[in-house]
């Protein structure tokens, strides 16, 4: 029987593995907790949807007060716009396919796009003029991650130049303060660094405004920075993503609590021929190969007993330190990184108190 044919209401013990599993109670807790953070900070909440890629979860986040969603891929943008959401595509619109998608989605719904250079803005401007639309844009600011983004010093001049281009409307500036994860378990240092990011973004916005650039939005976005960067005066929006599920990296560094991890992978022991190391059916095609913040190479951490997934092949996970398991036993594993793990599955089993209550498709996986 195919997974899709199994009825809801069954126990997890009856579901084939490897299986992506969402604890509905914890999911709802996480959604409402972040909505409260945003309310307390007085900022809009626009969650990054790359974590869940699920319209069921988007509907829960919207019901809790999310003003719209952030996304990273064209598929995510298309699914969200088609569902009627206000969407920020936070990825450089470089290449004909992305530019054409921006023009098309602007016609079809509410879309903003993030860019980080005058060059990409000019190409988008030409396409928007040709397409007869006005595209709303935000400028990406590199506040320390060293990935994409204009530097804080050059950003005001870049914004001024973009403001002079036809068919583009500047909404604001944004950053992803992913570098905060480098502070590991030092919560004090992480929060201080997060506030510094917020202060830097507010300063960039003020500098741009002195040049006559009208900015409505100053947006920060990360789960590690959710309790710091948005708390600064001048920040108007936050865009955390991983918070909705939590994962082992966020748990280890203290960005989420131990009892807030809503996403797990259930796996079965399929071989016990190698002594202390046993083989399970959750390899990197179930867990993803995202690195661990623990710096020990693991691809996942067992939750229902001792042991870690020390490494993995495509369909084989190497479980070590779990002397209590036997052939055919099932285990529960917490992934290093929720976002990459979700992208490995076409659907997720939704449970409450150990019983399956639904099965949700992952509509926007690659």
Radius of gyration of the chain from Cα atoms? Answer: 22
| Crossing angle for the helix pair 155-163 and 187-210, to the nearest 10 degrees | 40
Say if CB 141 and CB 177 are below 8 A apart. Answer: no
Residue among 226, 236, 265, 263 nearest 247 (CA): 263
Give percent of the chain above pLDDT 90: 93
Confidence of residue 2 (pLDDT cuts 50, 70, 90): very low
Residue 182 has pLDDT above 70, yes or no: yes
- Residue recorded with tokens 């807790």: 29
Q: Residue count of the chain, please give it.
A: 366
Tell me how far CA of residue 117 lies from CA of 135, 154, 245, 303, in angstroms: 15, 10, 33, 44
What whole-number distance in Å separates Cα of residue 321 and Cα of residue 317? 13
Give percent of the chain above pLDDT 70: 98
Residue 5 has pLDDT above 90, yes or no: no
Mean pLDDT of 198-209: 98
pLDDT reported for residue 354: 82
Confidence of residue 10 (pLDDT cuts 50, 70, 90): confident
Residue 326 has pLDDT above 90, yes or no: yes
* Mean pLDDT estimate for the chain: 95
How deeply is 143 buried, as exposed, middle or buried, from its count of CB atoms within 10 A (0-12, 13-18, 19+)? buried
pLDDT reported for residue 7: 60
Q: Cα angle vertex 114, ends 51, 117, to 5°?
A: 135
More confident site: 362 or 258: 362
Residue 4 has pLDDT above 60, yes or no: no
Confidence of residue 366 (pLDDT cuts 50, 70, 90): confident
Confidence of residue 61 (pLDDT cuts 50, 70, 90): very high
CB atoms within 10 A of CB 166: 10
Q: Quick: pLDDT tens for 137-174.
A: 999 999 999 999 999 999 999 999 999 999 999 999 99
- Residue recorded with tokens 């490995």: 344
pLDDT reported for residue 1: 33
């Amino acid at each position: 029987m195919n997974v899709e044919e199994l009825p809801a209401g069954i126990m997890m013990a009856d579901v084939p593995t490897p299986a992506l599993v969402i604890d509905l109670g914890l999911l709802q807790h996480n959604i409402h907790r972040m909505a409260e953070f945003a309310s307390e900070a007085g900022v809009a909440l626009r969650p990054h949807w790359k974590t869940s890629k699920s319209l069921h979860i988007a509907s829960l986040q919207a019901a809790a007060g999310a003003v719209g969603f952030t996304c990273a891929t064209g598929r995510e943008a298309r699914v969200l716009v088609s569902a009627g959401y206000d969407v920020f595509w936070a990825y450089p619109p470089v290449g004909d396919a992305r530019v054409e998608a921006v023009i098309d989605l602007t016609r079809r719904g509410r879309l903003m796009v993030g860019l980080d250079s005058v060059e990409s803005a000019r190409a988008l401007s030409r396409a928007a003029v040709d397409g007869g639309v006005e595209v709303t844009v935000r400028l990406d600011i590199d506040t320390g991650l060293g990935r994409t983004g204009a530097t804080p010093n050059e950003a005001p001049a870049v914004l001024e130049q973009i403001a002079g281009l036809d068919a583009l409307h500047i909404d604001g500036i944004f950053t992803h303060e992913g570098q905060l994860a480098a502070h590991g378990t030092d919560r004090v240092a992480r929060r201080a660094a997060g506030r510094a990011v917020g202060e830097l973004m507010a300063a960039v916005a003020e500098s741009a405004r002195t040049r006559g650039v009208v900015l409505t939005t100053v947006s920060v976005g990360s789960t590690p920075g959710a309790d710091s960067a948005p708390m600064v005066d001048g920040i108007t929006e936050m865009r955390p993503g991983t918070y909705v599920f939590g994962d082992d990296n966020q748990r280890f560094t203290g960005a989420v609590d131990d009892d807030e991890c809503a996403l797990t992978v259930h796996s079965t022991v399929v071989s016990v021929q190698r002594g202390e190391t046993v083989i399970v059916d959750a390899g990197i095609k179930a867990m993803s190969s995202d690195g661990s913040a623990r710096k020990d190479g693991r691809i996942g951490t067992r939750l229902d007993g001792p042991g870690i997934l020390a490494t993995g092949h495509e369909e084989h996970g190497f479980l070590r330190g779990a002397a209590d398991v036997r052939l055919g036993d099932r285990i529960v594993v917490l992934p290093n990184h929720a976002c990459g793990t979700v992208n490995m599955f076409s659907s997720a089993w939704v449970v409450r108190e150990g019983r399956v209550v639904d099965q949700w498709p992952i509509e926007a996986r690659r």
